[in-house]
Structure 1
Amino acid sequence: MGYPDNVLAGDERVVLHRHPHWKRLIGPALVLLIVTALASFGAAVVQNSDWDGTVKRVVLLVLAALWLIIVGWLTVWPFLNWWTTHFVITDRRVMFRHGLLTRSGIDIPLARINSVEFRHGLLDRMLRTGTLIIESASQDPLEFHDIPRVEQVHSLLYHEVFDTLGSEESPS
């Protein structure tokens, strides 16, 4: 899903658009598998019981409703939050947008960025993700967690900042 062009200025171009790393979806995927297995087991037990047909249907409907609520809350909702979280670098600014029902975001003009850092531990290094830390003028450093290929993003952002500033320190 590309970032909507209607939030960009007329001649502004997207340099990078990322969602958070897929590792954020591991927990919800495991929940889906476990809850589905438990619901299937419960349904099989109910089907093989010698209960009245109406009681079986009611218990199966309750199981299905519980499955739907748990999967919606612990699987679908986190996926939709992941899908609607955007980390975007343009040739003018860094944008971060997140939220499904209530959206929020921040824009950092490239000219206001003082430093760019990244941090990742052993697991993050194996998964090629990490935390990007951006320090801008007159603000506390902002941390963006689970940025895929954080080292490449760090390097790209560094080059964009110096290209924007037109500094003689600008890398070629």
Structure 2
Amino acid sequence: MAFPTKLLNDGEHVVVHTRTHAKALIAPVSVLVVLVAAVISLGSITDSTTVGLGAGVVAALVAVWFVVRPVLDWLTTTYTFTNRRFIKRSGLIAKEGRTIPLNRISGVDFEIGVVDRLFGCGTLIVSDASTHGRVLLEDVPQVEQVQLRVAEELHTLASGGPASERVDDGT
């Protein structure tokens, strides 16, 4: 899913656009498998329509809360770095967003735990000059590459813009 170009300003382009690593879906899929197995098992040991209906209602509620909601959260949450700002967007119906101008970002760090290393992801830490101080983006795929690209963009911004726009004065 690409970042909508209608949300970009003139001269702005996307540097990195990503979402949380798919490992975030392991728990919801596991819950779904256990839920289906439980409903099938209960259906095979009882002939009661009332028990089956009650199990179906409980299974549907559990599925909505522990499967559908996390999957929708994963699908609708994106992290985007442009050449001007960082944008975090989430939500399907009720939308939420956070934007930090790149010139207010003071640092971009990453942390990779043991499990994260197995999945090829990690936590990206975006530090800014606001009262909130920093934003943690957990389970970012290829976090080291994302950190390098964002740091390069921050360096480009600090040095006066892209190399193609700077004038070579011969020094």
Corresponding position of 1:86:
78
Q: 1:67 aligns with which of 50, 59, 63?
A: 59
Match of 1:154 in 2: 147
Q: Matched residue of 2:3: which SS?
A: coil
Structure-1 residue corresponding to 2:43? 43
> Does residue 1:98 correspond to 2:90, yes or no?
yes
Query: Which stretch of the first structure deviates more once superposed, 89-98 or 57-66?
Result: 57-66
Instruction: Name the structure 1 match of 2:166.
Output: none
Question: Which of structure 1's runs of 4+ aligned residues deviate more than 4 A?
Answer: none
Comparing 36-45 with 111-120, greater Cα deviation is found at 111-120
Structure 1 residue aligned with 2:138, among 136, 145, 151? 145
Instruction: Give SS of 2:46's match.
Output: helix
Contact preservation (8 Å) 2:88, 2:98 = yes
Q: CA deviation at 1:76?
A: 0.7
Q: Distance in 2 between matches of 1:99 and 1:130?
A: 22
Q: Does 1:165 align with 2:152?
A: no
Deviation track 1:31-55 (CA, whole Å, cap 9, x = no partner) reads: 00001100000011124xxxxxxxx
- Contact between 2:15 and 2:150, CA under 8 Å: does it hold in 1? no
**C-alpha displacement of 1:101:** 4.2
Q: How do residues 120-139 of structure 1 correspond to structure 2 at under 5 angstroms? A: 120-139=112-131
Q: For residue 27 of structure 1, what is the aligned residue in structure 2?
A: 27
Report how far residue 167 of structure 1 moved: 5.4
State the Cα RMSD in Å.
Answer: 1.9
What runs of 5+ residues in structure 1 fail to find an aligned partner? 48-55
Residue of structure 2 equivalent to 1:118: 110
Q: Show the counterpart of 2:167.
A: none
Q: Provide the identity percentage.
A: 34
Structure 2 unaligned residues grouped into runs of 5+: 164-171
Q: Tell me the CA shift for residue 57 of structure 1.
A: 2.8
